[in-house]
Structure 1
Amino acid sequence: MTVLVFGGNGQVGQELLRALAPLGEVIATTRSGALPDGSACEVADFDQPGSLPALLDRLRPSRVVNAAACTAVDRAEQEPEAAYRANAQAPGVIARWCAARGAPLVHYSTDYVFDGRGTRPYLPGDATAPLGVYGRSKRDGEEAVRVAGGRHLIFRTAWVHAAHGHNFLRTMLRLGAERDELRVVADQIGTPTPAALIADATARALRHPGGLSGTWHLTASGQTSWHGFAEEIFRQALAAGMIERAPRVTPITTAEYPTPVRRPAYSRLDTSSLETDFGIELPDWRDGVGKVLRELAQR
């Protein structure tokens, strides 16, 4: 089996290279043609979707995992065409190639396809209502994958963090070392999810004998706010001896921290269908924080 991973340098992409290795040959792509460790890989430019079929024709993978995306939520508002090329058009091109050749496609989406007005965890079949360009482009990417007609596994996830890349956990540790107080939004609710969990669940889904196709929600279990997430990061880091002191984490409202794009106020995702269909047990989000912190400490 040959598995092609788009976005091999991202948070999830780097974990996929590890998690998918037992399945067979794993080929990584990045826009630059280089991985974070400096090693060379294939070039895939999602800003030029029309260039992707030639790459796929040359490599002819038996499985494709798309972990590449434009994830800069605020920048997407200023550069909507680029966001749509990366998040909607490129996945559509890949999905049509996969459908024509019978190659299963894994594609990742986001809690931002919902407007956050819900009062219970969102089900995969709930109506979408994105608040900005990023969410709309990701929703349109999902639809492009579906209408291509091939076997697909769309995994929506949220609040991704890892010991590498740009994410909330690493930002909190950096800012906490510089400041005595951090003001963090407390009225947005979701589920912090480690990239390693997403990659491991993906590998399990690809090994599943059922040949399932559809959309699932893939996050850790439980929920918290960004403020609660920050407090847990510092609590565990302090207990592990990674930091000598923890800053004061002050809760604020979304209105006190304005951004160009509205974020969903409530974006917890219901993962029950994923757990049932693939037999995957999803750990509490606090466990993921601990694992990422331990990896950072080892580094």
Structure 2
Amino acid sequence: MELDGIIDNFMASYLKEGEPYLNTAHGTLIDYWDGSGHYCMYLMMVTAIVWGQSYKEVGLYWAGSILNSMVVFMPGNVSGKYGSNVKSSYFLNIPYVLFPILVALKCLKQRPETNVERADVVAAQKKSIWKRPLDMFFVLFLVFAILISFLRMAVALKSPASIAVYYLKNVEPYFQDPVLYPMIQALVYWFYFVPYFVAAIYGFFNPGCTWMSDWALLSAGASAQAQFSHIGSSLHSRTPYIYRVPSDGLTAFWIINVALMVVPQLIAWRCLTWPAFFEVKPCPSEIRDGKSSLEQRKDK
């Protein structure tokens, strides 16, 4: 709030002497996300713990969100234009790397209890991807996300290819910002998100991938944080004007970045709400003979 002039002289000393890289547009946006999104997740996890309930879903979402934030933020602090001004307060961020990893590992070890009729499992897992239009849409999106991630990685690394030059100039010049946060985020997408995208495509074609829900939550949290920070920083007044989105590229910018933010949330929702397909390992004989098995049960 101080960075945007809403309050004054509350954090000025820390912003100057503690973590000066928070004065960037990226620093401003991750602060907003920490103070709103992460704050709500903390309240939800504390409430679940106090009430003796599981916080697995929100814990995985939070872990994905804050880990993406730290994986981009910490390298950017020491390698961008503020890299020569890093102080001891930089190490205050280390717990925000260690604790999310511990929470993620704890949550990943927990297997959900699924009360799904075996007949529903057989029926769901027999259904081809071609008869699941929503899942087919998700597969097409994941292919699109892989291609966009490759393009943005090339743009961030200053590829001379004509399409990369055009994209950098007309859609997302923010990748040229010397703070380097956008470049690191593009590399994180390529090296971490893309392997998940490939695995998720496999999971939509092959029933019973019980890891899909957990990793979809991690990805959804990471995508929400990444895109909130990237979209906001691309448009924020603290980003130099020459690196903000040009008016001619706003439509493409919004389509690409909103899709990368919203669709992973829908994928996580799909995995959580259809346990018959994702949470139960298939029995090959039942899947193959599903029709006769169901008929036999109905006869009985």
TM-score, shorter chain, exceeding 0.5: no
TM-score by length of 1: 0.31
Question: By percentage of residues, which structure has more helix?
Answer: 2
TM-score by length of 2: 0.31
Question: By percentage of residues, which structure has more strand?
Answer: 1
By relative contact order (CA 8 Å, sep 6+), the higher-ranking structure is: 2
